Chains A and B, each alone.
Chain A
Amino acid sequence: MKNRKLWGRILTHLGLLPFIIFAVFPFYHMALTSLKQNRELYDRGANPLLIRQGATLEHYSRLLWETEFITWTKNSLLVTILASVVSLIIGTIAAYALARLKFFAVASLGTGIFVTYLVPTSLLFLPLAQVVNWLGLGDSRWALVVTYPTFLVPFCTWLLMGYFRTVPKEVEECAMVDGATRIQALWKIVLPIAVPGLVCAALFAFTLSWNEFIYALTFTSSSEQITASVGITTELIRGDIYYWGSLMAGAVLASVPIVVLYVFFLDYYVSGLTAGAIK
């Protein structure tokens, strides 16, 4: 019996192996490419799965010192942090109101948030580009700070509504009977209980804005304003010439902030991903 269980477990792992290879191989190959010398990279006889002729950091140094990569990364950080913080604040208070308070049209406002959450960014980027121009933010990273909350706020609100609903009403009512105002009760009682939800919302806001591409591609174009994703995919390709080593180096480096967050907060990612669909 025990033996059978062990075999079953080994079989499960064997079954998972193709999925894991499928998921991870592109990153392995990206990292490998970024470390290969050009001579080996463009040698059709060489084994593409290994480095045989010595590793090099030349692609990284070219990326860092001969392109605007550092500027793009700074832009990405600025946009991501500002948009996430703003969205988290707006989303938190909206979620609290929608989950907890009774007021005019609360149910339909909640539905409205949910519908907005489903609207894909690729539906609105054309007219939004006009709005951005009217606001005087054409070709500016500030356009992204302003527009990213359009998808971050509905997401944060929806996620946090679920968390706020799980906080028992009585806890809050007790505090209010003891003389706390509603805002004090929110600040001192509800928010501390909802910290896991807030962390989760913050992580997702950060990830979604760091990974955003279509708005960044459409609303910004000059080298001083673009984000890392856009910079790497547009500025490193000159006509038909692809600098694959540096391209992969850029892709690896620009993924680092997200991967670091991811390694530390894996469980939050898992719960946030499922909350979006199940809660």
Chain B
Amino acid sequence: MAIGSVGIATATRPTSLRSRVSELLDRESWLGPIFVSPAMVLILLLVAYPFCMALYFSVSNAFIGRPSTFIGIRNFINLWDSDAFRQTFQNAFVFCGIAVGAKIVLGISLALLLNQQLWFKRLIRGAVLLPWVIPTALSTLGWSWMFNSLYSVVNWVLLNSGIIDPPGPNWLGQKYYAMAAVIIVNVWRGLPFFAITLLAGLVAIPKELYEAAEADGAGPIARFWHVTLPLLKGVLGIVVLFSTIFTFSEFNIIYVLTHGGPINSTHLFATLARQVGLETGRIGEGAAISLYLFPALMIVVWAQLRYVRKQAY
């Protein structure tokens, strides 16, 4: 009898433990945190913690392989004495402003064209999206061959079509041309995102609105200004915000195409931070340069959250 009850007890305990666990897992207040925790641990350890480290580095005179001391915000201020940094600061706004502006105009035009009846719809979409899919570092390498000082195919085409006179610009070796080159590649790479996303926005506009506007006598241009653009504003806003932050923090294109040169004329925060922080070892200063990206990020996050909240919640 006693032996029997012990046997029952040991037999039931594992099942009751298991059922208790599965009961807990059925409760949302338990399952939710359990499901979210791997993602949160990852973010805390490898995003939040490094971010705090960046903050700490930026207020210290950290140098690779040497103990560091707290120096306050001196890094942030001293940076303004550096020609390279002032140039970079200016570059970031020129680069981002022109590139995002060009992507907006070209992106809307391309999306409007793609929204028409097309013969090879899939093929055309596939071609247009291609630059976004290929590894940026590698396609940029292709561009750097296209802009090569001796064998530039861009110059060859421009010369042979009579647009420019020989010898043609040295794209990556001259200040303004180098900036133009990195902007062209950034637009090339970012345009698909604009076009495809805006196309989705266009498709969502009800046809009846156009019919009603046409019945009221609105021509194509009036319809674009008074129907398309206002209804596209939401999507356009989000796309521009996304693009702004990723254009502002661009690294790959600059690194591969110009390395920031000639004479810092194409450096952006990310590439300068790498050069100062890793190549010369002044991590503190490098971190401070990276953190100049942060205000831009904050503005974008704030604007996004305001908009996303309005939509989702």
Contact = CB atoms under 8 A, between A and B. Distances in A.
Contact of A266 (B129, B200, B235, B277): B129
Contacts of B36: 93-94, 97-98, 109
Contact of A251 (B139, B156, B239, B248): B139
B141 interface: yes
Interface in A148-178: 149-150, 153-154, 157
Interface in A117-156: 118-131, 146-147, 149-150, 153-154
A239 interface: no
Given A9-B117, A126-B278, A277-B239, A213 B141 contact: no
A255 interface: yes
B33 A26 contact: no
A69 to B, nearest CB: 12
Given A126-B277, A127-B53, A233-B141, A182 B31 contact: yes
A91 B38 CA distance: 9
Given A16-B124, A30-B145, A269-B133, A182 B25 contact: yes
Contacts, number: 299
A70 to B, nearest CB: 16
Given A101-B32, A251-B142, A116 B43 contact: yes
A183 B34 CA distance: 12
A123 B38 contact: no
A130 B53 contact: yes
A85 interface: no
Pick the most buried of B32, B49, B127, B277: most chain A CB atoms within 10 A of its CB.
B32
A23 B127 contact: yes
Smallest CB-CB A-B distances: 10 pairs:
A103-B32, A122-B270, A97-B35, A127-B53, A120-B249, A101-B32, A94-B39, A251-B138, A127-B50, A274-B200
30 contacts: A16-B124, A19-B110, A20-B128, A23-B127, A26-B146, A33-B145, A90-B42, A93-B35, A94-B39, A98-B36, A101-B28, A107-B313, A118-B242, A118-B245, A118-B304, A120-B246, A122-B251, A128-B50, A150-B46, A211-B135, A214-B251, A228-B135, A258-B135, A273-B129, A273-B192, A274-B196, A277-B235, A277-B238, A278-B200, A278-B235
Interface of B: 22, 25-26, 28-36, 38-40, 42-43, 45-47, 49-51, 53-54, 57, 106, 109-110, 113-114, 116-119, 122, 124-139, 141-143, 145-146, 148, 150-151, 153, 156-157, 188, 191-193, 196-197, 200-201, 235, 238-239, 242, 245-246, 248-252, 255-256, 269-270, 273-274, 277-278, 283, 286-287, 290-291, 293-294, 297, 300-301, 304-305, 308, 313
